[in-house]
Amino acid sequence: MIAVIAEVTVKAGAGAEFEAVVADLITQIKANEPGNLTYQLVRSRTDAEHYRFFELYSDDAAVEAHGRSEHFRAAGKLMAPLLAGAPKIEYFTAV
């Protein structure tokens, strides 16, 4: 299994809109990506503008399918203006 952890920081005041975009994205992932096992957004308890995505995929093909999906690309376009900077993304092998 492949794990992905992505850190993002949103612009001041953009949290609610960002969370709404991600909620819709998660609905689309659950409906259309059988290789996605977990997709969870969490918000920092000490910095409300700091988020992390925790993602788990069955294999590399599922990660690639996620990145190529129409719903992910559409959500990315909606999220981009809400972010304070580029996401930091790390890939792991689940053990």
* Interval 42-62 mean pLDDT: 97
Has domain 2-93 been given CATH number 2.30.30.100? no
- How buried is residue 18: exposed, middle or buried, by Cβ count under 10 Å (0-12/13-18/19+)? buried
- What residues does each domain of the chain span? 2-93
E strand spans, the chain: 2-9, 36-43, 50-57, 88-93
Write b or e for each residue in 33-63: b if 16 or more Cβ atoms lie within 10 A of its Cβ, otherwise e: bebbeebebeeeeeeebbbbbebbbeeeebb
pLDDT at 69: 97
Strand pairing category for 2-9 and 88-93: antiparallel
Per-residue confidence at 76, pLDDT binned at 50, 70, 90?
very high
